[in-house]
Structure 1
Amino acid sequence: MAPDAQQCGPFDAGGSDRDIYEYPYGAPEANRRGSNVEPGFAFNYFSIRPKVDLERSSVAVIIPTKNQAHLLAQTVASLEKTWPEKLPCKIVIVDHQSDEPDAQELLEILAQKHLVLPYSGPFNYSAINNFGVRRGAGDAQYLLLCNNDIEAKEPQWLERLLEAAVDETVGAVAPMLLYPDEATIQHAGVSVGLCGTAEHLGKFLPSTDEKGNPAPGYLGMLRVTREVAAITTACALFRRQAFEAVGGFSEEMQVGYNDTDLCLRLWQIGYRTLYCGETSVLHHESATRGKSFSHDPHPADSSRFLSNWGWLISQGDPFYNPNLKKDNTAWKSSHIAKRQAKPASRRYAGPSSLFTK
């Protein structure tokens, strides 16, 4: 979908460019807060760039890993190459019993520069990350949770996430994730109730249009920074205070939906979750088309998620239009016969009000 004059951006209601000055978070308000307002990816879109004091910020990167030396080496190298020069950084690698010689050799090399923590026991993604934070994050203000198959290429990708997270009401923010072909989107936020439980928005959509320009997606959803119910923690920045306020990941959810559950609990105590479409990283995960309904890879976690959050699925994700299809990740409109004549209204009284029974 090509952007055009009929498409409304974050600060536009179909009027002129000067409408930005009439909105509460337009240019004057942004400048008052110490932010810069820049042109966005297309006409009538704008990018607010809060000023971040990198020297007074600090980030601990938590990378769970097991074997896969080539992926881990690529992840760490890309972080080192793109890391902001003035930003204090601590990379914490949590090794879950790697037993391949090349992985063990790499971990010995990385341990000379970064913190490598051995972890033993059954695989539990939630427990491994909580362990890494507890034992390795030190006094870092922010936590960058990162899979061992992430590759950062864009300059200032982390600065973009920090700019979004500098607002004290923000608990978590994640970028667009692309598959290794660098042309296919894997993640543009998570919607609860999509494909039954929760699924990535924008999954398998092209990242550019036919002219090679950034694909905007439905109403620019792919390219703006916006509130979402949840994000994936394959690569996500968390405010340390928020992460600890909810006790980190629920270790009862060992593999699936633990990141979605974490974000929903952040919402419940008043912290917002954001998707930042203004930057992206690569996720070297195989791009298998479609979502399988014939086999659930983690039925226990799915059952627990539905038990905890089934009421929200029934009520509806507050950031997903109820007249859009719930079995499609591309914001496709439902058939007119299946639309709600008058969707249930909600009263907004702060972030937590959207995620309260």
Structure 2
Amino acid sequence: MPDPADRRIAVVMTTFDRCAGVLATLPRLLALPERPEVVVVDDASPDATAQQVARHFPQVRLVRAPRNLGSAARNLGVAAVDAPYVAFADDDSWWEPGALRRAADVLDAHPNVGLLAAAIDVGVDGGREDPTNALLAASPLVRTDLPGPEVLGFVACGAVVRREAFLAVGGFAERMHIGGEEELLALDLRSAGWRSVHVAGVRARHAPDATGERPGRRRRTTRNRLWTAWLRRPAGSALRVTGETLVHAARDPAARAGVVEAVRDLPRVLGERSPVLPDVEADLRRVARAERSSSTP
């Protein structure tokens, strides 16, 4: 007899124009012992992703985005489920057996936690750890009432969210699309009183395409770093982030394109500006200092 389905948690996968990846990854999610509900959000793919998922995986709930939403497509998947917790997956990522049950247990035990950032193993066989694991584990924001170090950033394909918290803050911002979109959500969760924590015992697997970075990724990451700073950081910190970004962009054409794109929308961004409270800004500075210290030889 298979294990009973764990109705506490669902998985939301988003995909755009990568049909082969979706068809290869879905069996891994459907084979998990937790037997979670799996939702695929097709982000207006021009290929046959939606048709192929419907044909080969009728047990999966398929949601079709009305247009290409990027990271905000995940919002549609979260809204479509009833489970209190939602784990994210990309079309090239999945979860280790038992990880979702452990995540749900942690969230059950800590009602103030809005997001759990897992450890991520890279490669089909998990040959190496994602470098982000060390950054998350080294966070200086340690509290005795939390199940792991508090973090103010995460990797979306290794995150489990409390559905209530995620929807209350609006999920992923559509303006960010893809590329460094996580920081704004992490700050909004913290500003709303929710905690995000890293739990190394919960593990996801990521097997990115060997062809490397998708076109436009660095441009969008640069743009989103600036937008996040301008939207949520106090003036002094926003100016410091802007200066650091301009120095980097001076030697990176893709980053320069991101700066131009960010500046183009600056008036509207400033109209939406809502800086974090001083305690959140203080923690951001603590994390930045710790990261600089760890990278110093």
Q: TM-score, with normalisation over the residues of structure 1?
A: 0.57
Asked if the contact 2:90–2:157 (Cα under 8 Å) also holds between the matched residues in 1, the reply is yes
Shift of 1:133: 2.4
2:32/2:98 contact within 8 Å kept: yes
Q: Is 1:147 aligned with 2:114?
A: no
Question: Identity over aligned residues, as a percent?
Answer: 21
Shift in Å, 1:231: 1.4
Structural mapping, 1:220-231, within 5 Å: 225-231=148-154
1:164-198 CA-partner distances (Å, limit 9, x unpaired): 22210000002111221623222545xxxxxxxxx
Please name the residue that 2:128 is paired with: 184
Change (3 A) 1:111 1:286: closer
SS in 1 for 2:55: helix
2:41 to 72, 94, 101: 94
Rg bigger for which structure? Answer: 1
Aligned positions, number: 239
Matched, 1:78 2:21: no
Note closer, same or farther for the CA distance 1:125–1:104 as it changes in structure 2 (3 Å cut): closer
Mapped to 2, the partners of 1:73 and 1:110 lie a distance apart of 8
Offset from partner CA, 1:310-349 (integer Å, 9 cap, x none):
43676562663725526xxxx34x47xxxxxxxxxxxxxx
Q: 2:192 aligns with which of 254, 269, 276?
A: 269
- Equivalent of 2:289, from 322, 333, 356? 322
Aligned to 1:132: 77
Q: Which residue of 1 aligns with 2:66?
A: 120
Instruction: Work out the CA distance in 2 between the residues paired with 1:225 and 1:302.
Output: 26
Aligned counterparts of 1:188 and 1:301: Cα–Cα separation in 2 = 18
1:280 matched to 2:203: yes
Worse-matched range after superposition: 281-290 or 228-237: 281-290
Secondary structure in structure 1 of the residue aligned to 2:114: strand
One-letter amino acid matched to 2:37:
K
Cα distance in 2 for partners of 1:178, 1:56 equals: 24
With structure 2 as the length reference, what TM-score do the two structures score?
0.68
Report deviation, 1:265.
0.8
More helix by share: 2
What do you get for the CA RMSD once the two structures are aligned?
Answer: 3.4
Residues 1:305 and 1:228: Cα distance change in structure 2 (over 3 Å): same
Give the unaligned 5+ runs of structure 1: 1-53, 190-199, 203-215, 336-357
Q: Which amino acid aligns with 1:275?
A: H
